[in-house]
Structure 1
Amino acid sequence: MAEVSAGTGAMGSLLGKLTALLSDEYNLLNRVRKEIQFLERELSSMRVLLERLADMEEKLDGLAKGWRDRVRDLSYDIEDCIDRFMDRLGSGDAKPKFMKRTVRRLKTLWARHDIATQIKELRARVMEESERRDRYKLDESYYSATKTVEIDPRIIAIHEEVKGLVAMDGPMKHVIALLMDESTELKVVPIVGSGGLGKTTLAMEVYRKIGSGGDFQCQACVSVSRTLDLVKLLKDILSQTDKDAYKECQSWEKEQLIREIKHILTGKRYFIVIDDVWKEQDWKLVKAAFPDNNNGSRIIATTRIAGVANLCCSISDEQPYQMAPLDDVDSRRLFFQRILYSNDSCPSELEEVSTRILKKCGGLPLAIITFASLLASKTHNKDEWERLQDSIGTGSSFDNDGNLKGMKDILLHSYLDLPHHLKACLLYLCIYPEDSMINIKVLKWKWIAEGFIAAQWGSLDQVAENCFNELVNRNMIQPVYGNYDSSVKYCRVHDMVLDLIISLSDEENFATVLNGRICNSFPNKIRRLSMQSSGKEHKGAVGAIRETKMHIRSLTVFELHKPIVPHLVDFHALRVLDLGDCIWLENKHVKDIGSSRQLRYLRIGHSMITELPCEIGKLQHLETLDLLYCNSLPRLPSTVTQLRKLVRLFVSDYTQLHASGFRSLQALEELGFVETDDPVRFSEEVNESGKCNLRSLRTGGEIAERLFCNSCCTYPCLQVLKIHSGIGMVPRGMTSLENLMTLLIQVTEFDNEGLQVLMGMPSLAHLDLEIRRGAINENLIIGSDGFKLLKVFRFRYSPLRPVVEVKPTGGLRLTFAPGAMQALHCLRLELNPMWIVSDFFADLGVEHLPGLAQLEVKINCYEAAPGRVKALECSIEKATNLLPKCRIHVSRTFENYMFKDDKEWEDVVAKESLVRKGDEKNERVTTKN
């Protein structure tokens, strides 16, 4: 049972704390013990009924809902009260030694008037709800409810990529034909249709299809949503078109951003997808950033609004592409493909009921997949299917007015069918703005910190991963696949699902969302708060937050344009504090962070913070400290080593860690840093203690060389290793990392000896290898005796060295011998043609990679001769003819730094050679004298 759930509130964690206080070793006073025993008995009974009520949400009357809401709220208040007791007794450390000391001091603390009054009031509230329960006869009314059948929590995500969706080929070809005509003017192709028809899916698949062909020099895909944040959207475009410019733009206003985007796109052929445009004015503001440069640039815009679509059309007589519902044949194919993994096979007894279900779905792909995902979790039984079909209501997904009431009924039923812990996980997504790209790792860590995840088997992280996969499998969350590999790092929530969970969250007071829409009232007690905009509604919110701040458990603040983060004093119940998107944060905003003693998760991102208070060491429950993008922070306070429960610690490359005391972080599993004040001592402390639990490490070359200097330094749990800032050579001790699955390494020098070390790592599945400098005349041969499990290989060799060092002949050669990398799925190469052999691709041997599905080649044109660039592109084309089933993408980088012709390159090389010879001659004369 999770500590916190949507149905039972904080009952799980609360009862655990009450039970711990009742154990014999604490020797409580009799009066205190009786009070706790009463609370424990009554609340245990209430939790059973809460679980039963949560299983039949749609059948509850007003009395039952009111009782449920009050008891759920009561569980939070009692837990907050107990937590405050602990805070006043000491540091909040929950180890047994501390608990014994805490309970001894509880005898005197309990007698204090204010705490005695709180206990008396809470006990009275519990008795009052117990009497209401009997008076309403809730146990008799809802005793016979059937519990929802839980799905195996080890289920894996089976959500397929959009290229496999039914009836997508025709629309794709149509839209591509509209885009890829011969006109050189900027052309906009709008895609219009109601929610759930697959507009975004179509646009994204077209984006992948033609964006991977190398026809466009700049590409970007962004979402507008109902509330336009123009500055954020422009930054998103900039981050995808020019990452170097994006690093400098964090404090820019919209006018400067528009000028920069226009400057980058002028003279280039670009392809942009603008998803989910709701207002004509929004389109006018966004389009102002795109120059019409007569280079054949293209834009796709998706919208539900016909007026917006017509405005988007480049030429007045053009028509938007109108999305249509699926016909009966395609609807059935999609439906049974999801349930039975077959396009057309259906048991005869299910034919009639499936026809009625599909009629309700109305040809909407979202409705079909959602309902099918619901049925896939049930037995293929006619009675069960008819029961679910009847529960949705009458009619199709569209009502007579063209609205989507039926679709909403399907989504609601899918939500009600979720197990308790998954309801809380799904509702939590309402804290994110519409069309957000949600980082899955961050989401899972916050679920854990909130108490939604229970370690029934395996680690909390594994259980959270399976909760995410199950929500994907039920089509409540949409995974976002990488462009050139099958990894899933982000997810999205369809806006119809988001509308549903925001509505449910409001109804159950699960979370309060300030998203730019006028809000006339706020709940008496805000438990979770998401601040997404700095509009007028925040003026009323400030007072509500001030009144209820001691009850807030989660505070997430997104990229607001005004510093309105409330001061953190008196946020005693806070478990989650996410300020990762607040670029204007200053030291004053976090100076009181030490007062939030229950904090489990703390994230601070791009900001002006230069110092964290030493009081951060008081956060004895803190599990995640994420300062990865806090680039202005020069060092962490030494008190961080007092955080005994810290599981994850991430700092930027510019933040220095204190080596002293690091061995005390025994719970640490994930660590990301580059700099430390004493590399020798840090390596010694890590090797002495925390290495047994360490699963993920990101560090610099100097630290890595010391940690993996010999094969005796074993890290049995290490699965992910990222070595930034360069390391001389591949450390031989890395052969001992038997469980390492992901490796990112930047090396100065590399040869076949280093290659053999990497090939000797048996579990490696993802390798990112960058050779940073040095002219290598080496033939690297990858044979069949290593990389047995490698699925993704990224190889980067683009030294930023003087052109005079380039040799007319020779260079790096890489060869995949027969039998090499049999599991490889994705190959990504980043090469400068000046530093590799001229026939690099002719001898590469990509035809020996039977599982290769995706090949990406980036040609680094920095100080490159155009002739060599073109020769490399021709050799790539010849080699890839041997890969008819492989998805291939070739592009150029640093094209602005390429020589205008081969003669210019030859002249520069000749001139620099003379200069160098002169310098060497002068040096010899000086030495002789």
Structure 2
Amino acid sequence: METATGALSRVSTRLVLLLTDEYKYNLPKSMREGTMFLQSELESLEFALKKLSNTPTDQLNIQAEILARDLSELSDDIEDIIDTHMTPGKLNKKAKFNLMFRCMIATHMIATQIGDIKSRVSEVHERCPRYFLVIDDIWDISVWQTIRRALPDNDIGYIIITTTRNFGVAEEVGGAYKLKPLSLSNSQKLLYRRIFGNENKDNIEDIDKCLNKELAEVSKRILQKCGGVPLAIVTTASLLASKARNEIDWYDVYNSIGTGLSDSTDVVNMRKILSLSYYEMPSHLRTCLLYLSVFPEDYKIEKDRLIWMWIAEGFIQCENQGKSLFAIGDSYFNELMNRSMIQPIYERYTGLIYACHVHDMVHDLICFLSSEENLVTILNGVWYTSPSKLFGRLSLQYGKEDNSKPLRIASLEHVRSAVVFPSAFCVMPVLRRFRVLRVLNLQDCDLSRGYSLEYLGDLFHLRYLGLCATHIAQLPQQIGNLKFLQTLDVRGNNMFSLPSTVVQLKNLMCLYIDEFTRVPNGIGSLTNLEVLSTLDITVSIDIIEELGQLMKLRVLHILLFIGWSGRLVECLSKLQNIEYLYIKIFGDNQWDFGGLDAWVAPRHLCRLDIEWPCWFSTLPARMNQSYLLDLVYLSIAVRDFGQVNLETLGRLPALRLLKLSVDPKNLGTLGGFIIGAGLFPCLVLFQFGGSIGPIVFQQGAMPRLEILNFEFCVQAARQIICNGDGPELGLGNLPSLQDVKIYLRSRGASKEEVRELEAALRHAAEIHPNLPKHQICG
């Protein structure tokens, strides 16, 4: 198929040559029109053929192979005609007429052939499957039947693969294919990569040489018991990585596995292997892991939400005076991740971990152990506790009205946590039934349908209150009674103000509210706050003074009136623990220049996101590679900005996302920028606005850049970077580029100049090896 596509492309190019001034006037009008028709038809056919060539060869039938052969022969015929017409030398009138006549007949015949082939290509293309659908982890036949009803009736046009651990589901879908276990060689690679990390080598023989004979032997025996199951191998490897490299400790692991999975993939055996890592963990990590059973299978668990819940449960104790509870909880999270008990979910651009998944086999284990140890009672149709059993922690994941009777009968006086999901909210008991509740999480449940928060103030022991997206308009005044409350999350609601009694919550460490929700006077008394998002200080400038009293703040999101940023600097200078600062400016269209100039970023700043039109006069002090080692996200506007400043930012070691705006009035005549080798080593997204001239990327710059978005002036570009072939931006020097957006400011340039530059930039993007998506407009 690729041969036919290349042949068509070659012939199409030669037809263009035939229509140049040198040859077209030697053609009669009818033949010129025929040639133009052929060129158009071939371009259309080439496009269809390219789409067909994207179909895997094993999915193409014999008809497509015949088409490819016919197209190659057709291309040869057309080339023969072209070569005949372009034969050098003069011909007599009769010979010339005969030649023209033969060419016209051949052209007509070829046009007919092309029409036929186009129809055949379309037919083959329609018979090929163009989507591929993967449905992961189906547990029940009824689930598949629901999905099947949403699909087309016929089976032409798509391929479906499902994964399941239920053989009956596989048979119902259309037949089972049992995945083969990993080979010994691949099992060794997976094991050693997890144990040795950067020490690992691709060649297994080289790794074996690093081990003594006994370790090499016991590792092979361990892998035999793992039976080629990746999860078993990774889990076991995580356990071995924490042990000394001696055969005694490794044989202890081998003997603990028991019969393993070498002869069976039974869930019980897999659970036994996973439980080895569980029992090797210290007790505080075990408790934190089992607590994950409050979340349903495949649930995306937000990292910060989980840590605040751990803190509220009392699972995290202060180990030393210099470290916050949240920082300790963060270390617990990382340790569970390093032990492969949870799977991290990364933000695309910053690379920071913001959530996690729990593998379904690990989830099965922790639900089993949690039930055995009576840590969490789960109501989801699978895990169930008898009504006579005392509830310590409730996770209501799925329920119907007729299932609610056990909860009404059972004693709820000892329930310490209630985590409720929308599909089970119908069985949620009323709040007055609880007495010692420490965690109440109703996120995403609709409380507007009659569920009352009237008795919320009676939950004196409450530490965590999650009411995000629950459709509430206000909190009761009695919330001030919750003296132990540490986390309050009321985002995603139509709540315009917090009760005045909120300022009595002296133990509050985390406050999540919407940007339009007003806080009462006295917010400065909440001196234990570490997270405050989002604080609206457009109502009263006095709140800025109170903000300066919250010395423990790590995360701060602010709404501010333009012109008040100068007053904010003194406050921010006191908040030296800030890791994430977001400032959004409101006001008229006048830019606020220099309001934040005196501010010095704290050393541990990780994200700085200042929405325009709040401008720094110059790049803030100490924004360099030796001071801001942790900065990964920077969105900033700078009035006076030059090449030196760009290079300063380019040396920040962890920076992954940069949104930069500059003032074109201060960039001189041309204002172009050059990004040299070694700059921005980790940057993934770069957005640059306000530049007069373009940015030129040299070899070795921004090796990880995926998203590029910037603007510049057409005239400046022509003066700086245009040569005879077009602009030399150096897009080809960005090896990871996936998406390009360039806006051309056309003032002072002709329409033709703009069109030429647009075309040249598109060409630069189209010839990039990655074929990035691109949008170039003037």
Q: TM-score, normalised by structure 2?
A: 0.67
> Residues 246-645 of structure 1 correspond to what in structure 2 (within 5 A)?
274-286=135-147, 301-305=162-166, 323-341=179-197, 342-343=200-201, 344=207, 345-399=210-264, 402-457=265-320, 458-517=323-382, 519=384, 521-522=386-387, 524-535=389-400, 538-544=403-409, 547-560=410-423, 563-585=426-448, 588-629=451-492, 631-645=493-507
Distance 1:387 1:848 in 2: 49
* Cα offset, 1:386, TM superposition: 1.7
- Write the distance in 2 (CA, Å) between the matches of 1:518 and 1:594: 32
Secondary structure in structure 2 of the residue aligned to 1:888: coil
Letter in 1 for 2:327: Q
- The corresponding residue for 2:527 is 666
Determine if the alignment matches structure 1 residue 766 to structure 2 residue 651: no
Q: Counterpart amino acid of 1:334?
A: L
Q: Distance in 2 between matches of 1:571 and 1:418?
A: 33
Which residue number in structure 1 is paired with residue 515 of structure 2? 653
Measure how far apart 1:285 and its partner are: 3.2
Counterpart Cα distance in 1 of 2:527 and 2:513: 18
Q: CA 1:628/1:770 → structure 2, altered by over 3 Å: closer, same or farther?
A: farther
* Aligned 8 A contact 1:327 1:363 in 2: yes
Query: Residue type matched to 2:494 in 1?
Result: S
Cα deviation for residue 777 of structure 1 reads 12
Structure 2 gap ranges (5+): 1-50, 60-129, 202-206, 712-721, 744-750, 756-778
Distance 2:332 2:382 in 1: 31
1:642 partner letter = Q
In the other structure, the counterpart of 1:136 is none
Q: Deviations over 1:284-313 (max 9, x none)?
A: 534666789999998765434566567768
Question: Which residue does 2:673 correspond to in 1?
Answer: 815
Residue in structure 2 matched with residue 785 of structure 1 by the alignment: 648
Which residues in structure 2 correspond to 1:148-187 (within 5 Å)? 182-183=54-55
The 1:736–1:414 alpha-carbon spacing in structure 2 relative to 1, beyond 3 Å, is: closer
2-side partners of 1:566 and 1:712: how far apart? Answer: 44
Deviations 1:565-603 (A, max 9, x none): 322114221111111121344684322111111111111
**Quick check: which has more Rg, 1 or 2?**
2
TM superposition shift of 1:358: 0.9
Match of 1:881 in 2: 732
More displaced stretch, 387-396 vs 408-417: 387-396
Offset of 1:794 from its aligned partner? Answer: 3.0
Does 2:551 match 1:695?
no
Give the deviation of 1:520 after TM superposition: 6.5
Question: How many angstroms does 1:710 deviate by?
Answer: 5.2
CA shift in 2, pair 1:359/1:831, >3 Å: same
Tell me if structure 2 keeps the 8 A contact 1:597–1:621. Answer: yes
Once residues 645 and 468 of structure 2 are traced to their aligned partners in structure 1, the CA distance between those partners, rounded to angstroms, is 41
Mapped partners of 2:305, 2:653: distance in 1: 26
Please give the secondary structure, in 2, of the residue aligned with 1:489: strand
State whether structure 2 residue 676 is matched by structure 1 residue 826: no
Counterpart of 1:849, as a letter, is A
Distance 1:289 1:722, change over 3 A: farther
**Higher RCO (CA 8 Å, separation ≥ 6 residues):** 1
SS in 2 for 1:582: coil
**Cα-to-partner distance string for 1:746-774 (whole Å, 9 max, x where unaligned):** 112657x34456846932612242779xx
After TM superposition, give the deviation of residue 717 of structure 1 in Å: 1.6
Task: Please tell me the residue identity of whatever aligns with 2:557.
Answer: R
Aligned residue number for residue 578 of structure 2: 718
Letter in 2 for 1:338: R
Letter of the structure 2 residue corresponding to residue 883 of structure 1: L
| Amino acid of the structure 2 residue aligned with 1:324 | K
Partner secondary structure for residue 663 of structure 1: helix
Residues 705 and 734, structure 2, Cα contact 8 Å, conserved in 1? no
Q: Which range moved further: 639-648 or 330-339?
A: 330-339
Aligned in 2, Cα 1:584/1:710: closer, same or farther, shift over 3 Å? closer
Equivalent-residue separation in structure 2 for 1:875 and 1:295 (angstroms):
46
Corresponding residue for residue 849 of structure 1: 701
Distance 1:293 1:740 in 2: 56
State the Cα deviation string for residues 790-836 of structure 1 (Å, max 9, x = none).
5234345899xxxxxx9xxx9997735447755x413313579xx87
Residues 713 and 368 (structure 1), Cα distance of their counterparts in 2 relative to 1, 3 Å cut: closer
Amino acid at match of 2:697: G
Distance across 2 between alignment mates of 1:875 and 1:421: 63
Residue 706 of structure 2 aligns to a residue in which SS? Answer: strand
Look up the equivalent residue of 2:462 and give its one-letter code: L
Look up the equivalent residue of 2:360 and give its one-letter code. D
Counterpart of 2:344, as a letter, is: P
After superposition, the Cα gap between the structure-2 partners of 1:618 and 1:297, relative to the gap in structure 1 and judged at 3 Å, is farther
| Deviation by residue 1:600-655 (Cα, 9 ceiling, x = unmatched) | 111111122011001111111111111222x2111100100001111111101221
Q: Name which of 671, 675, 685 aligns with 2:536.
A: 675
CA-CA distance at 1:324 after TM superposition: 2.3
* CA displacement 1:338-390 (0-9 Å, x = unmatched): 22332423221212222221110001111111111112112222222222211
What is the rounded CA distance, in whole Å, between the counterparts of 1:892 and 1:819 in structure 2? 22
Distance 1:447 1:789 in 2: 34
Contact between 1:714 and 1:737, CA under 8 Å: does it hold in 2?
no
Is the 1:617–1:640 Cα contact (8 Å) retained in structure 2? yes
Task: Give how far 1:779 is off.
Answer: 6.8
TM-score, normalised by the number of residues in structure 1: 0.57
Question: Is the CA contact (8 Å cut-off) linking 1:587 and 1:609 kept in structure 2?
Answer: no
Separation in 1 of the partners of 2:131 and 2:642?
A: 38
Taking the TM superposition and a 5 Å limit, the aligned residue runs for 1:88-237 are 182-183=54-55
Q: Mark the CA change 1:881 to 1:632 in structure 2 (over 3 Å): closer, same or farther.
A: same
- SS of aligned partner of 1:881: helix
CA distance in 2, matches of 1:819, 1:440: 36
Aligned-partner Cα distance in 2 for 1:294–1:829: 44
Give the Cα separation in 1 of the matches to 2:642 and 2:177. Answer: 52
The answer to whether the Cα contact below 8 Å between 1:518 and 1:536 also exists between their aligned partners in 2 is no
Q: Which runs of 5+ in 1 are unaligned?
A: 1-178, 188-268, 314-318, 800-805, 861-870, 895-901, 907-929
| CA deviations over 1:228-252 (Å, ceiling 9, x no partner) | xxxxxxxxxxxxxxxxxxxxxxxxx
For the residues of structure 2 that align with 1:389 and 1:473, how far apart are their CA atoms?
21
Counterpart code for 2:524: R
Distance 1:340 1:597, change over 3 A: same
